[in-house]
Structure formats: structure tokens, C-alpha cells
Structure 1
Amino acid sequence: MPDSCTPTFDQLSTALGFSCGEAGGLFELRSPFGLENWTLPVLELLIVLGSVLALVYAIVRLRRHGDPTNVVVWFGATAYLFIIEPPLYFPAAFGIEAHVDTMFAHNLFTVEFMWGRLPLYIVAIYPLMATMAFEIVRMLGVFRKCGVILGAVCVGFVHHAFYEIFDHLGPQLRWWEWSTDNPMNQPMFDAVPIPSVVVFAALWPMSLALCVQFFVGRQVDQGRRFTGLELVWRTVVIGLLASVGTFVLPIPATVFGMGSDTVRGVLYLAELVVLALVAIPILIRRWRALRVGESGEPVYSNGFVRVYSLVYLGTMAILWASALPDYFSAVDGVTDNGDPIGNLWYTLACFFMAIACVAAVFTIPRASSTGRRAEPDSASQPHIDA
């Protein structure tokens, strides 16, 4: 691609340790042992494996139980990715270079697409994160008891907790580099743009969950079966509308904060606070109701999400632990290697929230093979986790 090496991308890639000349081709494979550092292939394996297993689970559930919700979440998130990301990588090709400059650059991973712009793990992280957040909320019965909108708000909150653990670590370990000169990335929250903290961590999964549950999930809960063609067009529409939601939901910050980074940041964070104030009481209330058996409703289980969320959190804890020596020796927010650091205290808060969500789905009753309630400590009844 002749215009792939723009000045901003060249600057960002150089900071990450590679040049535009190394990032050639629509598709490229590299040795996992030749990457920038050992954390890159570990992250790649964690995310790609989890995404593949999430897809397998979704297909198995569709075949066994006629429930396409997980399949639609997976492909809807992937459709969203391919709508949102390419214009950010190649603004000139989409005619928006006068308004959008390169916002970030990913480092080179084992499997790469689009001239070094799109690692495979980024393709995989959208459906994996969306699946984990959506299914935790679904297991707690939020959609069934509280409706589509409040359920989507809770998905955005849960996704935010899981994603920000990753988001605040990436710049220090050179998984990607943000363009801090780009006004669209302002204001910054240490090493992370506040728009990323709010829009990509909370609002886009909220938008996706709203569309998935409205077009598919709520109707599946009512017993409806979809044909293959119906699922295809609904998934495409979900990806498109979720993309629109990503621009609509942050409007208070993008419009009223247009003239000031400070005002824009405050408005972004205000949206996040509202999201948390709505979601936290709902999630706690639903956990308590299921835990003590007040609701008397059918219980939905997802064994994959329960287990892999622990794998994700455990691996991220190890990666964070490996980064702490450089983190604590950083001066003015920059390590000795010249890498920006994220916010450890915010990350710990996100760890706490994510662990609490996982603990919640481990301590509620699971579904028995008949679809009836089974006690959390029951070992005698079979469970449908797929």
C-alpha cells in the first residue's frame, strides 16, 4: 500500500521499535520469539485462544439449544471492528484525513493484517471481551428482569472493568503507542486517552449489547427461533447500529466539550460515573436475588465464561506484576525505557470490580439439565454450561 507509511504512523512505529518498511503486506506471519518482548506472544495467545473458544461455545450452544445469542454477539462484535477500525488505520483511503489523523499504532505481533496496522489479537479481542461481559450480565439475569437498556448499561460497566486492566498496561509494555498530539486522544488519563477509557471500554459494548438483545436476545428468551438468513442480516444490522451508537452515546462530551479538553474530559467521565451508578446496584441486587433464590426464574449458565474470565484475570495479573518494577521506577510517568505508564490505582479498582463480577457468577445457582434451579454447591445434578 503506497501511502501506508504516513508521518504519524512512522513516528509511532519507530517509538515501538519497528519501521514502516517492516510492516508490509495484507497478511504477514512472524516468529513469536522475535517480537518486541515476551509479553506480546503471551497476550496474543491469551486473547486469540479465548476468542476461538468463545466461538466454539457459541456454535455448540446454537446447535444444542437453538440459542444464537452468543453467535450474534461474537460476529456482531467482529462486524463492529471491521466498520470502525479500518478508517482509523487509513484515514486517507476513506477521505477523512483532513479530520482524522492516525490515533495509535499497534506493535508487530505474530499474525498481522493490513500493513502492520491490525494484529490478529485485536480482531479476537472484540468478540472475546464482548462475550465475557455480555454473558456475565446474562448469567445474573439482568436482561430478563431489568430489560434491554439496563442490561446493556451493565454490559458496558462490566466490559469497562475487564478492558481497562488491559488498556492501562499496553503502552508500558509496547503493545501499542498512542498519538498524544492528536486532539481526538485528549485529554489523557496518564498513558490512556479518556475517550478510550469511556468510549471503547464502556460505550461501544453497551451499544453492541443493546442491539444484540433488542434484535435477537429478548426474542430468544421468548422462545423464538431464527433462520440462518435472519441471523445474518440481523448480525450485520447490529454491527452497523452499534457503530452508530459509538458516535451517538458520547455526544454530550464531543459536542459540549468541543472547545476545551478539560470540559470534554469531565463530560466523558460524568457519563462513566452515571453508567457505574446505574450498573453497580443492579448487579448487586440481581446477585443477591439469585443467591438466596428469591426470583424463582430459570437460571442460565456459561461455563466457558466463568472459567476463561479467571484465565484472563490471572494472566493479566502476571503481566502487570512483570511490569511493576519499571512502573515504580518511572519518572514523570515515563519508564527508564521511555514508555508511558498507566494508572495503577484505577487498574486495581477495575481488577476489584472484575473479580467481584466473576465471583458473583460462581456463587449463584447454575441451571440443571431440565432448566430448573440447581444449588451452587450441588454436585449431583448435571449442568448445561454449553
Structure 2
Amino acid sequence: MAEHCSPTFAELATELGFSCEEAGGLVEFRSPFALENWTLPVLELTIIVGAILALWYAIVRLRRHGDPTNLVLWFGATAYLFVIEPPLYFPAAFGIEDHVDTMFAHNVFTVDFLWGRLPLYIIAIYPLMATMAFGIVRMLGIFRRYGVVIGATCVGFVHHAFYEIFDHLGPQLRWWEWSIDNPINQPMFDSVPMGSVVVFAALWPMSLAFCVQYFVGRHVDEGKHFSGIELTWRTVVIGLLASVGTFLLPLPATVIGMLGDTVRGTVYALELAALAIVATVVMVRQWTELRRKTATAPQYTDPFVQRFAILYLLVFAALWIASLPDFFAAVNGETSNGDPIGNLWYTAACFAIAILSVVATFTVPRTTTTPDVAVSTASKVPG
């Protein structure tokens, strides 16, 4: 698809080791042993299997307990993906090339779509990450006690921790490459644009969680049942409105950021700090009061999220450990292969937050009867 090989994408593709003009078609398959390095198939397998299991568990919850929240979350995240990503890959086809140049290029993986632009694992990572973050917050009973807005804020915070573990490692291992000359990607936080650190790691999942809980989750908590048609249109609306939220939430940084990259980065950091402070206070208070039994014990459990989150952290800990020799040998922020390195200390903090969040779900008391053991015909499905 040479007509869509913009100069920027072609240059990024070449740096990653493949040719834009020769990159497949609508779908392309490769041997996992022919990829850039061994970490790419490990990443693919982890994320794709996780997304499939998340979908399977969401279907099981709907069939056994009449709770469609996980399923709507899964498909809502996927709908969001197909609203947001294609214009980023083909700005010329959407008539926005004068305003949005190519921001990044993914490396080629075992399964790719759209002429090398969209790896299958990227499709999978949206619903998987959303499921893990949403599930952790829901298991702590935060939505039920603090409401939709605060619950969504906590989802954004947890998602941010899990996502940045991945985000700060990808450029070094050539999973993708950012266009650092693109002003939208400025300022950079080591190898990651601040826009990715804040918008894609925290604000979009916050927007999605708000929409899912507002249109479906809170009604399920009250015992409401939805028809297939109701769930379908609500899922579509969630995907669309979550996209709008992703535009609105970072608007302060977008507008004030016109004064310069440093100002934009500062406003991004302030937005993230505000989200993190609110979420940390709420999550610590909720966990403490649950442990002291001064708050109502949550009735919702999600064994898939608990188990897979542990696996995710173990896999990424191994990937980070494997990358450390090149990381510490880097000069001026680049490895000997010329690949940019992320921020190790920030990643370590994200690991700590993610681990503590998962541990919290195992250490709070619960009511005797939970949705995972309750009879599906119960008059009310706890959330």
C-alpha cells in the first residue's frame, strides 16, 4: 500500500527493520521465529491469550450470573480502539495529514493488520488492560461506595501503573518507535511522550470506565437486566463517548500547551498528579476500612483478573530483567543499537503500585456469598 507510506512512517519502518511498501495487506502472518527479537512473540502470546481469557470469563459471567459488565467493557474497549487508531495510522486517508503526522510505527509481529500498522496484540491489549484495571477497582468495592467518577479515576490510576510497565520498555526492545520530531509527541519523558504517559495510560481508561459503569455497571449493581439489543447499542455508545472523553479530559494540557512543550508537559504532569492523589487516597482508605471491617465488604470477585494480573507482572518483570544489561550500558539514553531507554525508576514505582493493587484484592474480607458462587437467578447481581 505504497500510496499510504508517508515519509515519516517509511522512515520509522526502516529504522525498525521492515519496508513500508512491502508490508503485507489487510492481514499478514509471519513466523514467530522471524521477528526482530525473542521478546516480540512473548509479548504477543501474553497479551493475546490474556484478552481471549478475559473475553471467555466475561461471557461466563453473563451466562452464569446475568452480569454483562465485563463483556461490555471488553467490546467497549475494542470499539474505542477502532475509533482512535485508524486515523493515527492513515492520517492522509482521513484528511487530517495537515494537522496530524504519523506519531509512531509498530514493529511487525506474527499477526498484523492494515499493511503493517496494526499488530493483533494491540487489538488485544485494549480490552485486556481495561479488564484488569476495572476488575481490581470493582473488587475493592470502590464504585459501589464512591460512585462512578471516583471509581473511574481509580481505574485510570491502576491502568496507568500496568500500562507504563509496558510503555517504558517497548521502544528499547523495538516493539514500536515514536516519531520524536512530531510536535504532538513533545515533550518526551525519556523514551515515552508525555501524551502517552497521561492520555493513553490514564485518561482514556478513566473515560472508558466512567462510560461502562454509568451506562451498564451501576444498573447491574441495582439488579437491572439488559436485552441483547440494549447491550449492543450501549456498547457502541460507550466506545464513541469514551473517545470523546479522551479528547475532553486532556483539554487543559492541549489548550495551555500551545504556550510551549514545557508548559504542556507541566500541565500533563499536574493532571496525572491530581488523578494519582485522588485514587491513592481513596484506594488506601477503602482498603484500610475494609480490613478494619468499618466498610461493607465487597461482594464481587474476579479470579481471572487476580490470576492473570500476577502472570502479567511476572512476564514483564522477566522482560525488564532481560533488558537491563543493555539498559545500564546505554549512553545518552540510547543502547548500543541506537534504541531509546525508558525510565527505570518510574517503571519500578508502577510495578509497586500494580503489585499492591493486586495484593489488596486478596487481602480484603468478602461477604459469604459472591457472584462467583451465587445462584444466577438471584434478584440482585452484586457489583
Q: Normalised by the shorter chain, which TM-score bucket?
A: over 0.9
Which residue number in structure 1 is paired with residue 338 of structure 2? Answer: 338
Distance 1:372 1:83 in 2: 33
* Matches of 1:370 and 1:159, distance apart in 2: 25
In the superposition, relative to structure 1, how do residues 370 and 43 fare at CA in structure 2: closer, same or farther (>3 Å)?
A: closer
Which amino acid in the other structure matches residue 124 of structure 1?
A
1:184-263 mapped onto 2 (5 Å cutoff): 184-263=184-263
Q: CA shift at 1:230, angstroms?
A: 0.3
TM-score normalized by the length of structure 1: 0.95
> Which residue type is aligned with residue 267 of structure 1?
V
1:269 aligned partner: 269
Please tell me whether the aligned partners of residues 161 and 350 of structure 1 are also in contact (alpha carbons under 8 angstroms). Answer: yes
Check whether the contact 1:74–1:131 (CA below 8 A) recurs between aligned residues.
Answer: yes
Question: Counterpart in 1 of 2:378?
Answer: none
Query: Can you list the C-alpha shifts for 1:220-257, whole angstroms capped at 9, x where unaligned?
Result: 00000000000000000000000000110001100011
Q: Which residue of 1 aligns with 2:377?
A: none
Shift of residue 372, structure 1, vs aligned partner: 11
Name stretches of at least 5 consecutive residues in structure 2 with no aligned partner: 374-380
| Contact kept in structure 1, 2:2 and 2:20, CA below 8 Å | no
CA RMSD of aligned residues (A): 1.8
Matches within 5 A, 1:48-63: 48-63=48-63
Any conservation in 2 of the 1:301–1:385 contact (CA below 8 Å)? no
Partner of 2:39: 39
Q: Tell me, in whole angstroms, the C-alpha distance in 2 between the residues paired with 1:362 and 1:116.
A: 41
Secondary structure of the 1:20 match is: coil
Q: State the match for 1:12 in structure 2.
A: 12
Question: Could you list the per-position Cα deviations for residues 1-24 of structure 1 after superposition, in whole angstroms to 9, with x for gaps in the alignment?
Answer: 342211111100111111113312
In the alignment, the residues of structure 1 paired with residue 55 and residue 370 of structure 2 have an alpha-carbon distance, to the nearest angstrom, of: 25
Distance of 1:61 and 1:50 partners within structure 2: 16
Question: Would the aligned equivalents of 2:140 and 2:298 in 1 still touch at CA under 8 Å?
Answer: no
C-alpha contact 1:303 1:385 (8 A) present in aligned 2: no
Contact between 1:157 and 1:275, CA under 8 Å: does it hold in 2?
A: yes
User: Identity of paired residues, percent?
Assistant: 70
Aligned to 1:30: 30
Residues 300-330 of structure 1: CA deviation (Å, up to 9, x unaligned): 1000000000000000000000100000000
Q: Which residue of 2 aligns with 1:378?
A: none
| More displaced 10-residue stretch of structure 1: 2-11 or 140-149 | 2-11
Unaligned runs of 5+ in 1: 374-383
Q: Distance in 1 between matches of 2:135 and 2:128?
A: 11
Q: Distance between the aligned counterparts of 1:7 and 1:370, measured in 2?
A: 55
Match of 1:351 in 2: 351
Give the whole-Å Cα distance in 1 for the aligned partners of 2:109 and 2:199. 25
Structure-2 separation of matches of 1:296 and 1:256: 42
SS at match of 1:181: coil
RCO (CA 8 Å, sep 6+): is it higher in 1 or 2?
A: 2
Deviation at residue 371 of structure 1 after TM alignment: 5.7
Contact preservation (8 Å) 2:139, 2:298:
no
User: In 2 relative to 1, CA 66–5 (structure 1 residues): closer, same or farther, beyond 3 Å?
Assistant: same
Query: 1:292 offset after TM fit, Å?
Result: 2.8
For the Cα contact (< 8 Å) 1:301–1:367, is it kept in 2?
A: no
Kindly report which structure 2 residues correspond to 1:80-95, keeping only aligned pairs within 5 A, or say none: 80-95=80-95
Determine the structure 2 residue equivalent to 1:71: 71
> 2: distance between equivalents of 1:26 and 1:291?
52
Q: Which amino acid aligns with 1:47?
A: I
Measured after TM superposition, the shift of residue 366 of structure 1 is: 4.2
Aligned residue in 1 for 2:313: 313
Equivalent-residue separation in structure 2 for 1:72 and 1:62 (angstroms):
10
> 1:121-200 alignment to 2 at 5 Å?
121-200=121-200
Secondary structure in 2 aligned to 1:3?
Answer: helix
Query: 1:142, 1:296 → 2: CA distance?
Result: 11
Matched length: 377
- C-alpha distance in 1, partners of 2:304/2:370? 20
Quick one: which amino acid aligns to residue 230 of structure 1? Answer: E
SS of structure 2 residue aligned to 1:258: helix
Q: Which amino acid aligns with 2:191?
A: A
The 3 A distance-change label for structure 1 pair 83 and 3 is: same
CA gap 1:372/1:59 in 2 versus in 1, 3 angstroms = closer
Amino acid at match of 2:81: L
Cα distance between partner residues in 2 of 1:67 and 1:270: 36
**Alpha-carbon distance between aligned partners in 1 of 2:175 and 2:130, rounded to the nearest angstrom:** 20
Instruction: Map Cα deviations across residues 352-377 of structure 1 (whole Å, 9 max, x no partner).
Output: 0000101101112345446699xxxx
Q: What displacement does 1:294 show? A: 2.1
Q: Is the 8 A contact 1:299 1:365 kept in 2?
A: no
Residue 300 of structure 2 aligns to a residue whose secondary structure is coil
